[in-house]
Chains A and B, each alone.
Chain A
Amino acid sequence: MKKIFLYSFLIVTSVVTLIPFIWMLSASFMPDGAASVFPPKFFPDEIVLQQYRTLFIRLNIAKNFFNSIFLSVIVTTISLFFNSMAGYAFAKYRFKGKDKLFNLLLINMIVPSQITMLPLFLMLKSVGLINTYMSIIVTGMANIFGIFLIRQHCLSIPDSLIEAARMDGATDFQIYRKIILPLAVPILVTLGIFTFLGTWNDFLWPLIALTDESMYTLPVALSNLMLEHTRDPELMMAGSVLTIIPVIIVFLALQRYYIKGIMMGSVKE
């Protein structure tokens, strides 16, 4: 009896949680005006692709989609490379000022990123990088949380492995590439999802740094579209579907790593 009650409660609350997505998906397949009726329809009378056609043909959203994919992939690749090198060095090397430097980095994790945006804008504007892909890439090339996550993982790699490789005459970079990176794959996947989704979902900085519609990432393009299409839920839902679907696919495929990363991040102290 108790079980039945708990299950029904779980099912109902799960459905309630997912209703916004269900409604979004079904409204995106409705013709103009079909989602602005009372009582609301939860499923389209017939599935039409009109909204998606408008987005791709008239509003050129493919370019924004490309921008989002391109930037997320580039930022993820570069930052995985930079963060993993730094994280490995902080875990396994001894060098002057290491602990001080690492603590300085950690303390700065509490600085809200909004602070940097005014000077960043001025800096990038003065070298002509505003409204270019570079403006997004340079700010995402490395991050403190990523270095921290990699370092924690590398601490558990036994020194003997590195030492043995060194005996065999491997250079520092070969050790990093052939021993550390393969052993760090799980944490690289975790950090990779974080970075990919973080870049994909980011809004404030792209809103500031990208000024032409053709340069917008999907969230910025959507928010811009919203200004002119406040009365077109069907069109806006199609845009939201395009923005959310890739995120959900990446998450569903790699959720194990994602959830592990959240738990790791929560045991910082």
Chain B
Amino acid sequence: MKDIKHSYSFTSTAAYFFIAPALIAILIFFFIPVIAAFIISFTDFDIYALGNFNTVRFVGINNYLRLFEDPLFWLSLKNTSYYVLLATPLSIAVSLGAALLLNSKLLKYKSIFRLSYFMPYVTTLVAVAIVWRFIYHPKFGILNYFLGLIGTNPIDWLGDPNWAMPAIVIMSVWKSFGYSMIIFIAGLQNIPEDLYEAASLEGANEWQKFKSITLPLLAPTTLFISIITIVGYFQLFAEPYIMTQGGPLNSTLSIVQYMYQEGFRWWNMGYSASIAFVLFFIILIITVIQFKVQKITSK
């Protein structure tokens, strides 16, 4: 087999040796578990099955039917959606604002500011969730102290069912906006400078330039960031696990946390697997929407 483009003959046997270690690892520790999880979601795999696999029975779509009637599952879905709906726009607004600021040509020493905005993103989620748990302390927490300085009454951030999720949202946005900010900065730098110059010549002000040049040209970046953010936020787990244990009154119970509880605390693995697949289905739908929108906009 020889053509001009591939006149070199890279033998294929060597290629198989190169890809084998990685692919075998991915096959055994990723593909097979995904398929196994799908099968388990149609069984009544529970704590007895853990001792003796022979007790496992196929129950068809019973687990999924049970999900539909499980108020706790609906609550976890509602809580997670609420969290995603609140955190995603906030995160995008903050990261876009920061990116615009850091892209401004008026300023120097931008790398230092970029670094401090980005710092929370790289740090360990569990550790910062613990830090924030104390920051949110109703009596001694520094947040209520600062709010008190401007005259706000103390808020029981993590103890009040109405405030617990917003508190987690604030912490998550703080933790992750640096990532989207970096991608926004890259997107901004790809916008040709002469567009702005031409607009200036025609007497456009900053806001007009932002609205008719920056925003439209940034649309693909914004779409990408929205999807990444939504998909990531749907997998909410460590924040409520550390800060509220899903409380108060289950107001911060997330889908992954419910899956974890059913699977690894009560060992209802069949049921837990069906929760995992509902999560997958949600993520799949969001991703498909992204591809569709991308196709339409790129035409």
Interface residues of A (CB under 8 A from B): 2-3, 6-7, 9-11, 13-14, 17-21, 23-24, 27, 35-40, 42, 81-83, 85-86, 88-90, 92-96, 98, 101, 105, 108, 110-112, 114-123, 138-139, 141-144, 147, 159, 162-163, 166, 172-173, 176, 197, 200-201, 203-204, 208, 218-220, 222-223, 226, 233, 236-237, 239-240, 243-244, 247-248, 251-252, 255, 258-259, 262-263, 266, 269
Contacts and interface: CB of A to CB of B under 8 A. Distances in A.
Contacts of B139: 36, 38
Given A14-B116, A259-B182, A115 B276 contact: yes
Of A3, A19, A266, chain B has the most CB atoms within 10 Å of the CB of: A266
B12 interface: yes
Interface string B217-260: 00001001000100100010110011000000000000010011
Contacts of A163: 8
B25 interface: yes
Contacts of B182: 259, 262-263
B26 to A, nearest CB: 5
Contact of B142 (A40, A143, A237): A40
B29 A89 contact: no
Judged by DSSP, the binding face of A is helix
Contacts of B30: 108, 111, 116
Contacts of A36: 137, 139-140
A263 B183 contact: yes
A38 B143 CA distance: 12
B201 interface: no
A118 B40 contact: yes
Contact of B33 (A3, A19, A110, A115): A115
- The size class of the interface chain B forms with chain A is 35 or more
B37 to A, nearest CB: 5
23 contacts: A2-B106, A14-B112, A18-B119, A36-B140, A38-B139, A38-B145, A89-B14, A93-B14, A101-B23, A108-B34, A114-B235, A115-B280, A116-B33, A118-B273, A119-B36, A122-B36, A123-B32, A172-B10, A172-B17, A223-B130, A233-B134, A233-B137, A266-B221
A231 to B, nearest CB: 10
Contacts of B137: 36, 233
A115 B113 CA distance: 38
Given A94-B10, A223-B242, A203 B125 contact: yes
A239 B127 contact: yes
B15 interface: yes
A220 B238 CA distance: 11
B277 A166 contact: no
A222 B127 contact: yes
A204 B260 contact: yes
Interface of B: 1, 6, 8, 10-12, 14-19, 21-23, 25-26, 28-34, 36-37, 40, 50, 98, 101, 104, 106-107, 112-113, 115-120, 122-128, 130-135, 137, 139-142, 145, 174, 179, 182-183, 186, 221, 224, 228, 231, 235, 237-238, 241-242, 256, 259-260, 263-264, 269, 272-273, 276-277, 279-280, 283-284, 287, 294
In the A-B complex, the 7 residue pairs with the closest CB atoms: A93-B15, A119-B36, A172-B14, A89-B18, A116-B33, A142-B22, A86-B22
A204 B40 contact: no
Given A226-B130, A243-B127, A262-B182, A116 B29 contact: yes
Contacts of B26: 105, 142-144
